Amino acid sequence: MTTDLPLFEQGRHLLSVSQFDRENLRTLFDLADAVDPIAKREAVCTVLDGAMLCSLFFEPSTRTRLSFESAFQRLGGEVTTTTGFTFSSMAKGESIADTSRVVSGYSDVLVVRHPDEGSVARFAAAAMVPVINAGDGAGEHPSQALLDVYTLGKELAARGKEVDGCRIAILGDLKYGRTVHSLMKLMSLHDDVTFTLFSPPGLRLPLEVEQYVTARRHTVQVMDTVVDAVRGADVIYATRVQRERMTDEMSQADARGDLLNWSMLAEADNLGAILMHPLPRDSRPDAYDLSGDVDDLPGLAIFHQTDNGVNVRMAIFLTALGVSLEAVRLTSKQRPWKATLRP
């Protein structure tokens, strides 16, 4: 992870969660709260009228791309997008630097996802406009961590708790799961967090992430079983095995059945925990992910995360482009219609 990046503010790229301290994190979350009526489509806003987002996704995505694009459009901006290598000039051998320079001539901000760690920073180095990292290989996924901590704060507050002092179990592919790396680092801005970790053999958390967290005086406990990891946790964050980043041999190893299901939570006496997941959840048989049999539990927060992603990504754009809340208010109006389904 790059540690010498400037704090995230107007005119800056967003490449890593290391660009946050408690203060600019709070400012971003306050903005995310303030745009809620626009995110929920109760109000219409045109503050980004004439602005262009270019989203470049060289890896599969549903939520991240659509929520970034929705966020920009809800603020009144336009979006142009390209997905996959096949339909971009990279298939003809164009370099990251050339692609970035060309595309940033067409847009006011770029959102980029790419399979290689560090690649989005290379886009940023050649760009003329702010670049937002939407996931660089097994590296980082800062916007996901921001929406995770935003959601976590709200879920804990509803239970009279805070991120400070909380106990979070993180399960699954901790080696290749970039959302875990970014989440643990961002949570480290808080005080006295206990992380209880469980992963299949071979998919353990990189030492660098563990050291980052423990150097900030948080506790990391590596557990032998899922049940031990989730026992007593306020929050459980489950992740998918990132098979696309592994050789076939590794992808078959030790990861079968459910990673976490209702019975395991019952055994740990923790059916009330907050349940989070960055999604997608792999729902194929034997995929070794969060089972669907937990979906009726009261703490299920996975769709709160996806909804909150729009607010947080709106706040990211407003910050990068230097748009004030006052400008947002002056260009917003109530929407005279509502999309509902009759029962």
Does residue 118 sit in helix, strand or coil? Answer: coil
Applying the rule CB under 6 A, the residues between 113 and 132 that interact with ligand ASP are none
| Distance (Å, whole) CA 182 – CA 79 | 26
Phi, psi of 270 (to 5 degrees): -140, 45
Q: Which residues of 126-156 are buried (b: 16+ CB within 10 A; e: fewer)?
A: bbebbbbbbbbbbbbbbbbbbbbbbbbbebb
Least Å distance between CB 58 and ligand ASP?
Answer: 12
**Binding to ligand ASP in span 2-41, by CB under 6 A:** none
Phi and psi at residue 53, to the nearest 5°: -100, 135
d(CA 104, CA 126): 9
Between residues 130 and 135, which has the closer beta carbon with respect to ligand ASP? 135
Instruction: Quote the DSSP letter at residue 132.
Output: E
∠ CA 167-200-249, nearest 5°, is 150
Query: Is 139 in contact with 1 (CB distance < 8 Å)?
Result: yes
Nearest approach, Cβ of residue 243 and ligand ASP (Å):
10
Minimal distance in Å, beta carbon 304 to ligand ASP? 16
Q: How far is the CB of 6 from ligand ASP (least distance, A)?
A: 24
- Using CB under 6 A as the binding rule, the residues of this chain from 245 to 284 that contact ligand ASP are 278, 280
- Give the nearest distance from C-beta 59 to ligand ASP in angstroms: 7
Helices 302-321, 63-74: axis angle to 10 degrees equals: 50
Is the Cβ of residue 76 or residue 142 nearer to ligand ASP in the bound state? 142
**How crowded is residue 116: how many other Cβ atoms within 10 Å of its Cβ?**
14
Footprint of ligand ASP on 162-191 (CB under 6 A): 178-179
DSSP 238: E
Facing residues of 54 across strands? 80, 110
Q: Which CB contacts under 8 angstroms, 24+ apart, belong to 118-121?
A: 120/15, 121/2, 121/13, 121/15
- Residue 76 or 177: which CB sits closer to ligand ASP? 177
Q: Does 153 bind ligand ASP (CB under 6 A)?
A: no
Q: Which of 13, 74, 122, 141 binds ligand ASP (CB under 6 A)?
A: 141
Judged by beta carbon, residue 45 or residue 290, the one nearer ligand ASP is 290
Using the minimum distance from each CB to ligand ASP, give the nearer residue, 76 or 139. 139
Of the pair 51, 279, the CB lying nearest ligand ASP is at 279
Would you state the structure tokens that stand for residue 16, as one six-digit string? 């890593």
308 near ligand ASP (CB under 6 A) = no
Query: In the complex, what is the shortest distance from the CB of residue 245 to ligand ASP, in angstroms, rounded to a whole number?
Result: 10
Judged by beta carbon, residue 141 or residue 175, the one nearer ligand ASP is 141
Q: Does 135 bind ligand ASP (CB under 6 A)?
A: yes
Write the binding mask 206 to 245 for ligand ASP: x where contact by CB under 6 A, - elsewhere: ----------------------------------x-----
**How many whole angstroms separate alpha carbon 220 and alpha carbon 188?**
11
208 near 183, Cβ under 8 Å?
Answer: no
**Residues in contact with ligand ASP, total (CB under 6 A)?**
7
- Closer to ligand ASP by Cβ: residue 38 or 236: 236
The footprint of ligand ASP (CB under 6 A) covers: 135, 141, 178-179, 240, 278, 280
